[in-house]
Structure 1
Amino acid sequence: MASKRQAWFCTTGLPSDVVVEVDDMTFHLHKFPLMSKSNKFHGMITEQEKNPTRLRKSSTTAAAAEEEDSGDGEIEEEEVEDEEEEPYCHISLPEFPGGSEAFEVAAKFCYGVKIELSAANVAPLRCAGEVLEMTEEYSEDNLISRTERFLSQTVLKSIKDSIRTLKSCEGLMPMAETLGIVQKCIDSIGARASSTDPSLFGWPVNEVEPGGRRKNTGGDSWFEELALLSLPLFKRLIFAMKARNLSPEVIESCLIHYAKRYIPGISRSNRKSSSSSIPSESEQIELLETVIANLPVEKSSSSSTATRFLFGLLRTVNILNASETCRDVLERKIGSQLEQATLDDLLIPSYSYLNETLYDVHCVERILGYFLDGLEEISAARIEGGDENSGARSAALMLVGKLIDGYLSEIASDANLKPEKFLELAVALPDHARLFDDGLYRAVDVYLKAHPWLPETEREKICGVMDCRKLTLEACTHAAQNERLPLRAVVQVLFFEQLQLRQAIAGTLIAADVPAADLSRPSNLRREEERDGDDSSDAGVAVTSVAPRAQDGSTTTWRATVRENQVLRLDMDSMRSRVHELERECSSMKKAIEQIDKVGPPNRGRRSSLAKKFGCKFKTQVCDSHQPTVVQARKGRNHHRPP
């Protein structure tokens, strides 16, 4: 067939005797091919032949003249003259399923032309065959049987093809629903998705490789196809997936792709322009409520991508002022996996005019509360059922502790952040959530720097959130010279820095005081000397002369030990000088404090007065103790050095 603008002509060489109008297209066809395949055409043409309407071909000629004026196509004059006296049937098919494109393919099928069935056109052709009554009873291997066979043998065996066919059904309602095409596609998608390992799909959101490029996983394609569905069909599909107890990861992946396609700004890294039009605010709210209501209650996978997406949803909920239910569901969901979040995720802008702060601190405080509530529930269940994941919970709590410390450092520079709110968030975590308080000290320092007008009492409260005993030596050194800290905090820091240095020196002395004669001989040779019972000095000379020749490995160890001993002695000398310096500073500060402190029993000692005034709830005589206590170094931990 050849196109002539809004008219289609059959190029068989025979004059057309049937004109079919579908939408704004006119098809000039022939009776017998149509009647041989379509019972509908057979009845309509037979009825018109009983009461023929003779129309001169002049009307057709006028239509052709209009086409010539528009500069498109030419109709042969000889053919028009031959048809002038021929009657023809005029049939109109309003609201034909699939429109003129589907009717064109159906007409070609009637003429015996080989047609190409695909996932996109099989549903319109199935509906077209139903309207035209192209059944197997009327003609063998007709259009209905061909399309049904293609559906069952090809389309429904593939997830992507089923989604494409389901997408094509959107403009075929309610006929596609009546014929069962929609339900068949939904059942096929749910069944094949549930029978496939979710790990084969890959994570649905494009991850970022270390080089900055995005990597696409092979399973993403059908998630992308799924995101093209209309919201009503998408809802039905999600409900069907839940009914089949589909993997929560797969359901969450579908929701992520769908929301990222239709909600602008849901992902900061998604810079691709969407070809579809941006939905209205009411449509976005409806979509948000649908996505949030269908989020699995289970914790998301270990990938931080899902958590980042949830924070994006939360920002959109705040911008669109969605319902409190949506906000609460999202905050609880985020709280269950807060350890997967990043500092950038927590920096949620404050969109309400009621909040004076730059970031929504109340929201983060609620999320942290949900996280801690979840840990308490897990701990209660652990007591009843046995401990299985205590290590994972402890690691999650440590991660959240570092995350909150970083968040406090970011929001501390906000001049509108009240001291009460800073304190509430700082003390919300339990003590064992932080191995060291260096991050908390940095947040305190930033807050005091941004709020220089705070009185001494308020500054002491702010400094009270950190435990000076959990500060590293580097943090203590910085804090001892920090002029922004109140005097009470500085004295406590100096006290514990002195204690740490004394303990470190004690451990160094133990390692350094090993007799040089013992270090000069390998241990295995010393044991031989003890067994022989010879004189130690004579044996030492004899053995050390033989050791380089007989024990090369032991000699290497001996030399390394000697070098390490020298390094330890140098460190000990530097720490000893630092201790003397701190003692002088502490002594001068004690004298100044004693002059200020006029109240109390006259027989109270210097150390007890200092301990009571500055809140040291331990025996202060430990500072002057020279007991050889060895402090085990915590290796493999990265400490953040305060500014």
Structure 2
Amino acid sequence: MVTMKLGSKPDIFVLEGLTWRCMTELESDVVVEVGDMSFYLHKFPLLSRSGVLQRLISEYQPPSDGGGMCTLQLDDIPGGAKAFELAARFCYDVKIELNALNVVCLRCAAEYLGMTDDYAEGNLIAQAESFLADVLANWKDSVRALETCEGVLPAAEDLQIVPRCITALASKACASDAAAWSTHGAKGASLDRDALWNGIGSGDTPRGAAAAAAASAMDWWYEDVSLLSLPMFKRLIQAMEAKSMRAESIAGAIMFYAGRLLPGLNRSASFSNASFGGDYGGIAGSRSATPRSATASLSGTSDGDQRYFLEEIIALLPTKKGVTSTKFLLGLLRTAMLLHASPLCRENLERRIGAQLEDASLEDLLVPNLGYTVDTLYDIDCVQRILDYFMSSMDGLGTGYTSPALAEDGSQLGLPHAATPPAVAPIAMVAKLMDGYLAEVAPDTNLKLAKFQALAAVVPDYARTVDDGIYRAMDIYLKSHHWLSESEREQLCRLMNCQKLSLEACTHAAQNERLPLRVVVQVLFFEQLRLRTSIAGWFFVSDNAATATDGAHLHHPGNAGAIVPKGSAVVDSGAAGQDEEVVMVTPEGKGSETMSNVKARVSELEKECVSMKQEIRRLGKPRRSWSILTRKCGFGAKVQQAQPAMSGK
């Protein structure tokens, strides 16, 4: 902290209770009262420095009885008794020390007392202004000075001290952020999936450690500005936006500030020892948020005050998608429900969350039902609205995934094909998230069938590559709602596409007594179709392999090692592509290796069919139904034809 020493004389002021006395050889001839404090001083030192005190002393009218000293009232002086004490010491040329914590109050008091150079060269106003410039050149001291402005408003505003402090802080933060981004931004932009949020990695790898170092270079000022009051913090953020600071840095500062301002955001720790970095995406994870200043008492404020703080914080958040973590937004939404914030505030949060729902986690999406009428354990309607906002924000070709119908329409219209979709499209991630959410809320016996169906039906069928997740959620719901009728169970099962179940899910569904019999048969039917297609494919491969072998020897008797692509007609050995899967055909082998593989596969399929027959019998189906089903699928006849053919070879 920078300091400045003024005066040369030793201290002659003595405090006696609520009275300050100047201990000199002369008797005091003036009393200045500031609040509860009284100062017994001398007129001459005050007249030589302060124009206001000079005027008040000259205008003073003694009482009619002529008794008592000159008494002045200065109750409205900025900074109160503490600021006047420093000003009085300056008038007596007693040693004082200026620092960032008292310079603002002293500057405002000097202005109030009219201590200009017109009365004495190098008066208090000039000295305070000179030192204030040094204070604003330092970041920490600028923050301290801005904090002290709260106690001397509106004098600090009138003297432009508040805008000067805010401008100095905004300029320093923006310059540091721009320099850090130019140095570390390229590295942070290419991080792997181990990054938590905003380029901050886990630190377990050199890459993560580099990202953590880059983040530390960008967020070093978060904790300092979090000590400001909400009005000052709001003005500082607006000044940073005006200077074009990155939205990511502004969002990070607001998130850190909100972690202290609103204790309800942290569900797992108390407000006094909350660490913001551990809760919202790893921002400044090493910083310990020990509340000080005005923010330390917010845990005891009323709900109305906290509701006001919450709405102001939400209004400050940048509108750019993705700069504010979804985890933090869901925490704000949970707090907004707890404090019964305005519907407009909650709708704003739900829209923001819906726009980046693919980044949400299941744990944070489980928002408790805090309404006046509690029907279910979790707020299903809120998640339904968020999911609707997500689907409305999807534009098909711009989301990384194109629905089959949209792609077909585009090809018919002659539109160019979309770029290769990423490994995991946002809508696929949301589909997986919602399947997990449905499984979590399914055990709630108060959850109505219509609400469960409505939530599950929002995600389109093409978003799920496998329907195991929705099947699991349906099974949990059926187990918890065993009183559903057969028609209601069938209606629920329409949410599931039996053709997209994995082998494990099909096996479980075939033994699931909670499913309607019609659905079980449908699962078995589609599994039979899979078996039939698989067997037909193997026979097709084996026939082509045999044909290719004969053709190779017929047309190329000299080529003992001809290469024939699988599943293709006879081709010249020189035309085989390097990337094609090939089979080496030798005169001695005659494709025997391929045929043995086909036989082994058919044997495995026959065992699976026997196992499925046993499951059908266990469910009470007559054997005739199995034979009819296999004849319809054409499986039995194909196997019977295949066995003699293979035995002959």
TM-score for the superposition, normalised by structure 1: 0.70
Distance in 2 between residues matched to 1:6 and 1:323, nearest whole Å: 49
Distance in 1 between residues matched to 2:316 and 2:397, nearest whole Å: 24
| Corresponding residue number in structure 1 for 2:108 | 127
Residue 403 of structure 1: how far off its partner (Å)? 0.7
Structure with bigger RCO (C-alpha 8 Å, 6+ apart): 1
- Residue 104 (structure 1) aligned with residue 125 (structure 2): no
| Corresponding residue number in structure 1 for 2:572 | none
* Aligned partners of 1:124 and 1:168 also within 8 Å: yes
Equivalent residue in structure 2 for 1:374, among 393, 398, 409: 393
The Cα offsets for residues 39-67 of structure 1, whole Å up to 9 and x where unpaired, read as: 333444455699999767xxxxxxxxxxx
Residue 397 of structure 1: how far off its partner (Å)? 1.4
* Aligned partners of 2:532 and 2:634 also within 8 Å: no
| Corresponding residue number in structure 2 for 1:338 | 357
| Corresponding residue number in structure 2 for 1:325 | 344
The Cα offsets for residues 543-578 of structure 1, whole Å up to 9 and x where unpaired, read as: xxxxxxxxxxxxxxxxxxxxxx99999998666523
Distance in 2 between residues matched to 1:137 and 1:287, nearest whole Å: 46
Residues 13-162 of structure 1 mapped to structure 2, 5 A cutoff:
15-45=27-57, 89-155=70-136, 157-162=137-142
The Cα offsets for residues 419-444 of structure 1, whole Å up to 9 and x where unpaired, read as: 11111111211223222111111101
Residue 133 of structure 1: how far off its partner (Å)? 1.4
* Aligned partners of 2:532 and 2:633 also within 8 Å: no
Q: Which runs of 5+ in 1 are unaligned?
A: 57-87, 516-530, 537-564, 597-604, 611-618, 628-643
| Corresponding residue number in structure 1 for 2:297 | 276
Give the letter aligned to residue 111 of structure 2: E
* Aligned partners of 2:116 and 2:124 also within 8 Å: yes
Give the letter aligned to residue 292 of structure 1: I
Equivalent residue in structure 1 for 2:456, among 400, 405, 426: 426
* Aligned partners of 1:20 and 1:26 also within 8 Å: yes
Distance in 2 between residues matched to 1:535 and 1:184, nearest whole Å: 90
SS in 1 for 2:263: coil
Which has the larger displacement, 372-381 or 448-457?
Answer: 372-381
Distance in 2 between residues matched to 1:51 and 1:204, nearest whole Å: 73
The Cα offsets for residues 508-534 of structure 1, whole Å up to 9 and x where unpaired, read as: 99999999xxxxxxxxxxxxxxx9969
* Aligned partners of 2:180 and 2:218 also within 8 Å: yes
* Aligned partners of 2:46 and 2:53 also within 8 Å: yes
Distance 1:399 1:11, change over 3 A: farther
| Corresponding residue number in structure 2 for 1:447 | 477
Residue 481 of structure 1: how far off its partner (Å)? 1.6
Residues 254-403 of structure 1 mapped to structure 2, 5 A cutoff:
254-273=253-272, 275-277=296-298, 278-301=300-323, 306-376=325-395, 379=398, 391=421, 395-403=425-433
Distance 1:489 1:92, change over 3 A: same
Q: CA RMSD in A?
A: 4.8
The Cα offsets for residues 578-627 of structure 1, whole Å up to 9 and x where unpaired, read as: 3332245458879649789xxxxxxxx9349x9xxxxxxxx944797679
SS in 1 for 2:387: helix
Distance 1:414 1:623, change over 3 A: farther
Equivalent residue in structure 1 for 2:151, among 156, 167, 171: 171
Residues 184-263 of structure 1 mapped to structure 2, 5 A cutoff:
184-197=164-177, 200=180, 217=216, 222-263=221-262
Distance in 2 between residues matched to 1:265 and 1:567, nearest whole Å: 63
Which has the larger displacement, 241-250 or 353-362?
Answer: 241-250
Give the letter aligned to residue 494 of structure 1: L
Distance in 1 between residues matched to 2:66 and 2:119, nearest whole Å: 29
Distance in 2 between residues matched to 1:36 and 1:624, nearest whole Å: 119
User: Over alpha carbons, which structure has the higher Rg?
Assistant: 1
Residue 206 of structure 1: how far off its partner (Å)? 14
Distance in 1 between residues matched to 2:114 and 2:636, nearest whole Å: 100
* Aligned partners of 1:502 and 1:626 also within 8 Å: no
Distance 1:500 1:36, change over 3 A: farther
SS in 1 for 2:297: coil
* Aligned partners of 1:204 and 1:257 also within 8 Å: no
Give the letter aligned to residue 33 of structure 2: E
Residues 486-635 of structure 1 mapped to structure 2, 5 A cutoff:
486-500=516-530, 576-583=606-613, 585-586=615-616, 592=622, 606-607=628-629, 620-621=633-634
Q: Percent identity?
A: 45
Distance 1:328 1:455, change over 3 A: same
| Corresponding residue number in structure 1 for 2:504 | 474
Residue 152 of structure 1: how far off its partner (Å)? 3.0
SS in 1 for 2:465: coil
Distance 1:126 1:386, change over 3 A: farther
SS in 1 for 2:114: coil
Distance 1:340 1:226, change over 3 A: same
* Aligned partners of 1:135 and 1:144 also within 8 Å: yes
| Corresponding residue number in structure 2 for 1:405 | 435
Distance 1:606 1:506, change over 3 A: closer
SS in 2 for 1:391: coil
Distance in 2 between residues matched to 1:7 and 1:220, nearest whole Å: 47
Residue 360 of structure 1: how far off its partner (Å)? 1.1
* Aligned partners of 1:267 and 1:309 also within 8 Å: no
Residue 322 of structure 1: how far off its partner (Å)? 2.4
Distance 1:505 1:151, change over 3 A: farther
Residue 535 of structure 1: how far off its partner (Å)? 8.4
Distance 1:25 1:53, change over 3 A: farther
* Aligned partners of 2:62 and 2:70 also within 8 Å: no
- Residue 416 (structure 1) aligned with residue 437 (structure 2): no
Distance 1:508 1:45, change over 3 A: farther
Distance 1:217 1:379, change over 3 A: closer
* Aligned partners of 1:512 and 1:569 also within 8 Å: no
Distance 1:506 1:14, change over 3 A: farther
Distance in 2 between residues matched to 1:375 and 1:240, nearest whole Å: 34
Distance in 2 between residues matched to 1:146 and 1:626, nearest whole Å: 103
Residue 244 of structure 1: how far off its partner (Å)? 4.3
* Aligned partners of 2:156 and 2:162 also within 8 Å: yes
Distance 1:585 1:51, change over 3 A: closer
* Aligned partners of 1:473 and 1:500 also within 8 Å: no
Distance in 1 between residues matched to 2:634 and 2:544, nearest whole Å: 28
Give the letter aligned to residue 5 of structure 1: G
TM-score for the superposition, normalised by structure 2: 0.70
Which has the larger displacement, 486-495 or 377-386?
Answer: 377-386
How many residues are treated as equivalent by the alignment?
539
Residue 38 of structure 1: how far off its partner (Å)? 2.6
Distance 1:434 1:239, change over 3 A: same
Distance 1:451 1:513, change over 3 A: same
Distance in 2 between residues matched to 1:387 and 1:416, nearest whole Å: 46
Equivalent residue in structure 1 for 2:487, among 431, 454, 457: 457
Give the letter aligned to residue 450 of structure 1: S
Give the letter aligned to residue 420 of structure 1: A
Residue 418 of structure 1: how far off its partner (Å)? 1.4
* Aligned partners of 2:333 and 2:349 also within 8 Å: yes
